[in-house]
Amino acid sequence: MASIGLDNIVKAYGSLEVIHGVSVDIEDGDFVVLVGPSGCGKSTLLRMIAGLEDITAGTLSIGGTIVNNLPPKKRNIAMVFQNYALYPHMTVGQNMGFSLKLGGVPKAEIGRKVQAAAEVLGLSALLDRFPGQLSGGQRQRVAMGRAIVRDPQVFLFDEPLSNLDAKLRVVMRAEIKSLQASLGTTTVYVTHDQVEAMTMADKIVVMNEGRVEQIGSPLKLFNTPDNVFVASFIGSPVMNFIPGIVTTAGTGPTFLSGDLRLPLPHLPHGVPKETDVILGIRPQYWRRDPTGFEAQAEVIEPTGSETQLELSMQGHRLTVVLHEQLEVRRGDKVPLLPDFDKMLFFDAASHRRIA
């Protein structure tokens, strides 16, 4: 087990720079998730930690030692890929023990380690099967077993669940999380799925175009995103963003956007008056209230316990999730009140959060 330090890491392919100075401190035993849109550099960063890509500039340390020039084999890292990369002609047991065999570990010890890992992963009965005789989830477990037997100081995962169906993903997500917690092995996990990031991570690193947008716990990123990018990336459905201004001209503190007037209980601290801002409010932070603002339902999506609505409110498109079953039809008027304490304000020019 070990800490990992990324200090101002840069990656260029020829003249094309794709990682522009990324710094992240990962503590021993942490479960860190790198999340961001396709092409933002997640896999590249992970491959640099594994030693599969050169580091153009900056320093990478593992366990306090700089490893920029250490070959992958010497880093004591195990990586699990999206496609599992199992050997089809080897049994489950042989697949799991293969790296140990290559490393010259005695046969009896390989057997013991494979048995132990198989037990943890619920694969004991499947050791003599071939990968082609396994379900997707079982294959995923074998790929993890192969990583576990090596008893590495770091686990790296690159989208390990993306080939599984939605239900199995949820199961495996919990399995990986609890396995990591019991082994206590420092883990870096890459995904573009923010739900996976939220549910699995101790700490999330949100990346965008080769840069880090924000690092923090799942709830920190959800409650206090640094900017519009993080606010829109974390949370589902996506946060509502309404450009406008805050003014006290007239009756009292009010958010104005075209025909939409939202009276505010007080002037939000840190928000300059009469200046272009973006109001952000999550779909979950609205409720039905007879004194609310009228919105017209456009799309109604009941999920059983909740109702998700797309509405138009004074010319603005709004997504709302109500924690109730609702008999609403397209075109119906729904009076809605936002939770003022949950409103976020961003500077319209820089997109940084100001309140």
Ligand X SMILES: Nc1ncnc2c1ncn2[C@@H]1O[C@H](COP(=O)(O)OP(=O)(O)OP(=O)(O)O)[C@@H](O)[C@H]1O
Interface with Mg ion, residue 191, by CB under 5 A: no
User: Interface residues for ligand X in 187-216 (CB under 6 A)?
Assistant: 192
Nearer of residues 43 and 257 to Mg ion, judged by Cβ: 43
Interface with Mg ion, residue 153, by CB under 5 A: no
Interface with ligand X, residue 13, by CB under 6 A: yes
Nearest distance in Å: CB 48, ligand X: 9
Select the residue interacting with ligand X from 43, 140, 194, 247 (CB under 6 A): 43
Interface with Mg ion, residue 43, by CB under 5 A: yes
User: Which residues are CB-contacts of 258 (< 8 A; sequence separation ≥ 6)?
Assistant: 244, 314, 315, 316
Count the alpha carbons within 13 Å of 337 in the hemisphere toward its beta carbon. Answer: 12
The partner in contact with residue 87, picked from ligand X, Mg ion, none with C-beta cut-offs of 5 to 8 angstroms by kind, is none
The partner in contact with residue 240, picked from Mg ion, ligand X, none with C-beta cut-offs of 5 to 8 angstroms by kind, is none
User: Interface residues for ligand X in 121-140 (CB under 6 A)?
Assistant: none
Burial class (CB in 10 A: 0-12, 13-18, 19+), 349: exposed
Question: What would the two tokens of residue 215 be?
Answer: 């690092």
Question: What would the two tokens of residue 61 be?
Answer: 């340390």
Select the residue interacting with ligand X from 40, 121, 221, 318 (CB under 6 A): 40
Do residues 244 and 260 make contact, with C-beta atoms less than 8 angstroms apart?
Answer: yes
Query: Phi first, then psi: what are they for 129, rounded to 5°?
Result: -80, 165
Candidates 40-48, 168-176, 180-188, 321-329; binding stretch for Mg ion (CB under 5 A): 40-48
The partner in contact with residue 282, picked from ligand X, Mg ion, none with C-beta cut-offs of 5 to 8 angstroms by kind, is none
Interface with ligand X, residue 41, by CB under 6 A: yes
Helices in 1-76 by DSSP H: which ranges?
A: 42-50
Do residues 41 and 11 make contact, with C-beta atoms less than 8 angstroms apart?
Answer: yes
Candidates 2-10, 38-46, 223-231, 246-254; binding stretch for ligand X (CB under 6 A): 38-46
Distance of alpha carbon 256 from alpha carbon 270, whole angstroms = 17
Do residues 130 and 139 make contact, with C-beta atoms less than 8 angstroms apart?
Answer: no
3-state secondary structure of 170: helix
Nearest distance in Å: CB 158, ligand X: 7
Nearer of residues 16 and 125 to ligand X, judged by Cβ: 16
The radius of gyration computed from the CA coordinates of the chain, to the nearest angstrom, equals: 25
Candidates 33-41, 64-72, 125-133, 197-205; binding stretch for ligand X (CB under 6 A): 33-41
* Helix H or strand E segment including 253: none
Distance of alpha carbon 60 from alpha carbon 81, whole angstroms = 21
Q: State the angle between helix axes of 92-102 and 136-148 in degrees (0 to 180), rounded to the nearest 10.
A: 20
Nearest distance in Å: CB 202, ligand X: 21
Interface with ligand X, residue 283, by CB under 6 A: no
How many residues at the interface with ligand X, by CB under 6 A? Answer: 12
Positions in the binding site for Mg ion (CB under 5 A): 43
Positions in the binding site for ligand X (CB under 6 A): 13, 16, 18, 36, 38-44, 192
